[in-house]
Amino acid sequence: MRSFSTSARKLLQYLGYPFADLPGPWKTATETYLHNGAAKKVGVIKSVEILHRNDGSSPVHKSHYNPNDPEEVISVRIEDENGNKRTHHIYSDGTGTGFVGDKRE
């Protein structure tokens, strides 16, 4: 397991929907997940693309991983230092999942 180092944070690129435009708690939730859950799952993070509809509306939506989940999420495509990309769902409490059936952390 590799940690989310200070140098990695400086190199992290946000793509897609502007990070600064995320509503209320979603900025903190995204940072929390990237530093904790995502770092444990993928190691060093190179970039984060905040996925959204083409109309530029809020990226907050219901999970497609688990349609029975009543909570809202944002979807982000995380690229690790080796160029591997995977979509993650981030919850408003700063936890998240990296695939269907993944442990929320």
Residue 68 makes CB contacts below 8 A (sequence gap 6+) with none
Residue 104 lies in a domain: no
Residue-wise pLDDT tens digits, 32-79: 999 999 999 999 999 999 999 888 788 999 887 778 889 999 999 999
Residue 102 lies in a domain: no
User: Comparing C-alpha atoms, which of 64, 53, 65, 63 is closest to residue 17?
Assistant: 53
Does the structure show a pLDDT above 70 at 6? no
DSSP 33: H
Number of domains, the chain: 1
Residue 103 lies in a domain: no
- Segments forming the whole domain that contains residue 26: 6-97
Mean per-residue pLDDT over the chain, rounded: 86
Residue 75 lies in a domain: yes
